[in-house]
Amino acid sequence: MFGCASAAIFMQFEARGVSFSVNFCSHCGSAELCWTVPPGDNRPRHVCSACKTVFYANPKIVAGCIPQWNDTVLLCKRAIEPRHGYWTLPAGFMEKAETTIEAAVRETLEEANARVEVVDLYTVFNIPHTSQVYMMFRAKLTDLDFSPGAESLECGLYREDQIPWGELAFPTILHTLKFYFEDRKRGDFPLRSGDIVGDRNRAIFALRRRAVIP
């Protein structure tokens, strides 16, 4: 038997930027949810006191593309929160039963109605404070027949000197584009990986943050 820190724990879950409180066990319907270390585990989880179901929460993958056309890349202006009105590369949450490339291609189609041929994986950025891992792929636009999807206000092709550097939606997008244009000058695109550390307003890029091992 494991103890319960509090009879009524209101857990905040976030999905697609919308957070909601978790008040009931989704298996048996009990309101007796605990935040406790389950038997045989080494860290606290949400556990139902009534039926003992353990609820695991894990990081999510955000997959996207750097859709290239000559010396430009395709950017989208966000029509949704978070960061409505700011610019991004097409990217979004990977869905079940997909591969990372399929997710990146699908997001590019959904957000910009654009078709791409993926070249290779280019960036892997961890964002531990939001429990996300960004995986961005270099890709070539197969044609110029693109247009804003439901989640975009507009989209267009931007050279390095035309990128709205001060109006990018997320630090991951900023650092992906910075690496991309740097590497393009050299004609070599090694895998770029790193950690985005800090909160949304003061995010710092680090090749590897100081490891936090419990």
Provide the minimum distance between the beta carbon of 158 and a copy of itself in the complex, in angstroms, as a whole number: 26
Which one, 184 or 209, has the nearer CB to a copy of itself?
A: 209
Which one, 27 or 84, has the nearer CB to a copy of itself?
A: 27
List residues near a copy of itself by CB under 8 A. Answer: 13, 15-16, 18, 20-29, 31, 40, 42-43, 53-61, 93-102, 105-106, 109-110, 120-121, 124, 126, 128-129, 131, 133, 135, 150, 191, 193, 195, 208-209, 211-214
| DSSP code string of the chain | ----S-SS--EEEEETTEEEEE-S-TTT--S-EEEE--TT-SS-EEEETTT--EE----EEEEEEEEEETTEEEEEEE-SSSSTT-EE-SEEEPPTT--HHHHHHHHHHHHH---EEEEEEEEEEEETTTTEEEEEEEEEES-S-----TTEEEEEEE-GGGS-GGGBS-HHHHHHHHHHHHHHHHT----EEEEEES-SSS-EEESSPPP---
Provide the minimum distance between the beta carbon of 71 and a copy of itself in the complex, in angstroms, as a whole number: 26
Which one, 117 or 167, has the nearer CB to a copy of itself?
A: 117
Provide the minimum distance between the beta carbon of 132 and a copy of itself in the complex, in angstroms, as a whole number: 10
Which one, 101 or 157, has the nearer CB to a copy of itself?
A: 101
